[in-house]
Structure 1
């Protein structure tokens, strides 16, 4: 495994993280504690130390599965990133909640679910600029840092070209940006990444496999069940993306290299990107994701020993 410095936090995170939205039950299956344990155990075995989750992945369900696991392991072995700002009601249904008092209640609920005294990276989760520009929110969060409940703040931008929230990071004491970035969606390269580099912000690339489309497993015309979040994607847009994936696989992916590993390594080669946080449905996918490290030969500005 390779490790990089997460911006000015000083945290050393594995370049491959564990995305855990799937633990909340919106990707077509429910997870038992044993299944979650197996995924997290495989991650640790491979040197992965970064877990990304959120309060709205199944009403703290993802956090609870992680928390049960962490309670039986060494907490200091893991860097846990979670998020705030949404209340989960039922599958695919959430409401926003970014007021300062409500966020403190969400934080306490996340700490309880994760069975930990502190969160390493607490992220503003895809909220509107109006909610982001609330000084009371950030003052309240700074007090939670002083209280030891949070180590560092970050922002998970909803639009991957949200320069407003990215540029305001230093002002609100956020040290990292999470953004959609993959071979099919390169928008952050234009404005967001240069701002991140200028401010020394860590960058977590989410959806690095484009919701699994860049895994190479799906062909144009693929159908997803109604319990899978991809069922909600525009069908024509999905068809066009999968046609593009076929072209990329044919023209850009070297023979003998798994497309998923190539796609993750592609993201990690950008000088602004600290880590990718792909989802993984089983230990085999964790192992496949980790193989992307073997495809990264060039030194990176954030590499650490």
Structure 2
């Protein structure tokens, strides 16, 4: 298999090894407008795998369910042994646009078994709790995940959008291999306590939306390209009153990228890569050309001075607008009741 120089990293301290950059698969099936035609999507997935991007990220809520089915089809004919599959549970799809966060043991088990069937695999490499059910002590949820590890249905356990205290409590029940969180030049709030907690416990970090949901690849003109039904249209940072302010950061990244002879997206992605060998960004794309551009970000080297220059204008307090609308829970709302 050609690797195109994509290095491998150890994710966490439990033994999982992945490509240093993964592929976020959500946009192929959900939330970003019309799903990519199946043959095209499978072609992109195969191109990624054959290029050395072997860490594939999905969830049962993407579609819902259709993204896992797509990954399952792409993994036929000898592809399964080449990849590390990460999927997630915890957002139960009830009806059109309505969902419920669940972490009770019966749901954890049924969600895992359903994902195994859709993916067509015997074991999920990394299984995340997508959002934390604040009605169920995290120890209860983790207890069931621990059983699934013992039964060989999952290999490693992860959390997504979890607070430092939730991570610590979960890790005490069963080792957490990775925490998935939003980390990019315009989403740096996790640096305060979540990233240090992960590092203290030997937990790997998976950075989703490392390109600011496409903003650092395209800038404000991204908004003109968004299809009807693309949920980014509703996100606070993409609203007119915030875009004019936020585009200043994009313009500065663009100016620096020109000096570095790379694209703004590659520079933004390289910044995430330079956070450490325990960090794996998972940019998503629906186009092979963009995939190739993202892989090339691994070759962009930044000096400490360049990192400082980037961080001077990408301060955590600079960006305008929250990451999500208020109806979507994040790590800030992830603490659960104490056990007993």
* TM-score, structure 2 normalization: 0.80
| Superposed displacement of residue 2, structure 1 | 1.3
Deviations 1:247-291 (A, max 9, x none): 332256634211111111100111264210011111111111101
| Superposed displacement of residue 222, structure 1 | 4.4
Corresponding position of 2:72: 67
Corresponding position of 2:140: 136
Q: Would you say the 8 A contact 1:53–1:82 is kept in 2? A: yes
Corresponding position of 2:167: 166
Deviations 1:110-129 (A, max 9, x none): 00110000100000112244
Change (3 A) 1:241 1:297: closer
Count of residue correspondences: 294
Q: Does 1:262 align with 2:276?
A: no
* Aligned mate of 1:95, from 86, 97, 100: 100
Q: Would you say the 8 A contact 1:169–1:175 is kept in 2? A: no
Deviates more, 1:221-230 or 1:45-54: 221-230
Corresponding position of 1:242: 247
Corresponding position of 1:116: 121
Corresponding position of 2:29: 24
Give 5+ residue unaligned stretches, structure 1: 299-305
Q: Does 1:214 align with 2:210?
A: no
Change (3 A) 1:297 1:261: same
Change (3 A) 1:90 1:254: farther
Q: Would you say the 8 A contact 1:18–1:279 is kept in 2? A: yes
Q: Would you say the 8 A contact 1:26–1:228 is kept in 2? A: yes
How many angstroms apart in 2 are the aligned matches of 1:249 and 1:266? 13
Q: CA RMSD in A?
A: 2.1
Q: Would you say the 8 A contact 2:214–2:222 is kept in 1? A: no
Corresponding position of 1:201: 203
Q: Would you say the 8 A contact 1:206–1:277 is kept in 2? A: yes
How many angstroms apart in 2 are the aligned matches of 1:147 and 1:237? 49
Change (3 A) 1:169 1:137: closer
* TM-score, structure 1 normalization: 0.89
Deviates more, 1:61-70 or 1:250-259: 250-259
| Superposed displacement of residue 230, structure 1 | 0.6
Give 5+ residue unaligned stretches, structure 2: 1-5, 304-340
Change (3 A) 1:249 1:89: farther
How many angstroms apart in 2 are the aligned matches of 1:295 and 1:223? 27
* Aligned mate of 2:156, from 149, 152, 156: 152
Corresponding position of 1:81: 86
How many angstroms apart in 1 are the aligned matches of 2:277 and 2:194? 10
Q: Would you say the 8 A contact 1:23–1:61 is kept in 2? A: no
How many angstroms apart in 2 are the aligned matches of 1:246 and 1:56? 34
Deviates more, 1:89-98 or 1:258-267: 89-98
